[in-house]
Every structure is written in C-alpha cells, then in structure tokens.
Amino acid sequence: PVSALDVSIQAQVINLLEDLQRDLKLSYLFISHNLAVVEHISHRIAILYAGKLVELADSDVVYDTPLHPYTEALLSSVPIPDPPLQRARQRIVLQGEIPNPLDPPPGCRFQTRCPLVQDVCRHQTPPFEEKAPGHWAACWVR
C-alpha cells in the first residue's frame, strides 16, 4: 500500500495503519519488498521464495536470527543508516539461476542459488517445520 509513495506520505499512511490497527484491533496481511517498512509494521513475518513459504517467526526473531539462507541474503541487502557499520557488514550476493515458477526444480526451490546447498536439497523438498519455539523454516541444512 505504500511502495509508490513519497517517504513522508509513506510514513503518514503507515502511522494511520498502525493507529487503525490499535484502535480497531485489526490484523493486516502486509505484503512488501521494503524490509524496513516490514520490520516497522510487523509482529510476525513470513518469508517466501518462488511462491513457497521458507521462514515464519516473530519479526524480531527473523531479523535477529534468520534460519533460512534466503532470509539471510534478503536481510543482508537492507541498508544500515550508519555508514561505518554499513561498510563493515558482509552482504550476501546470491549467484545462480532464479527458478522458473512454472517449472520449478525438484527439491528445494532455493537450491539453484543457495550457498549451503547439499545433495538432498536437489532431490527432496525440505519440510516446513518448527526449528525453535515459534520459529518455522524449510531447510535441510538448518
């Protein structure tokens, strides 16, 4: 709902959504590529890759201890507004082919780009399971 808006208007809309959420006890399904906005507005976060759910947890857990390699790469792309910290951080740049959503590869959909890929990833779809209390992920390695 805020992707094409000026930053100041974006902030006003997000504040309005938060006020409505609090006052009317609403829940939102907020879909966005802007991880700064997602972090600000969300209580729980679901990460999808190629149409599949790969991670789900409370927002602070996802941001502090991501389990899926795609989530790690995604979070590493978010700029930090502190220049020395930004320069010092390790950004994960994914290599490999993005899978065709109409004809995905067997096994894990992220296996063509995953830096941790193993043989099992190429043949079997990992189960989406609870790896820690309230923290779900679909990954054979973690």
pLDDT of residue 138: 98
Write the DSSP string, 93-106.
---SPPPPTTSPPS
At residue 116's C-alpha, the angle toward residues 59 and 56, to 5°, is: 20
pLDDT of residue 70: 97
pLDDT of residue 65: 96
pLDDT per position in the chain (142 positions), as tens?
788 888 899 999 999 999 999 999 999 898 988 888 888 889 999 999 999 999 999 999 999 999 999 999 999 988 888 888 878 888 899 999 999 989 999 999 999 999 999 999 999 999 999 999 999 999 999 8
Whole-angstrom distance, CA of residue 47 vs CA of residue 90 = 21
Q: For the whole model, what pTM was predicted?
A: 0.87
pLDDT of residue 79: 83
Q: Is 117 left (phi over 0), alpha (psi -120 to 50) or beta?
A: beta
End-to-end CA distance of the chain: 34
pLDDT of residue 142: 86
Which residue bears the tokens 């009317």?
24
pLDDT of residue 34: 85
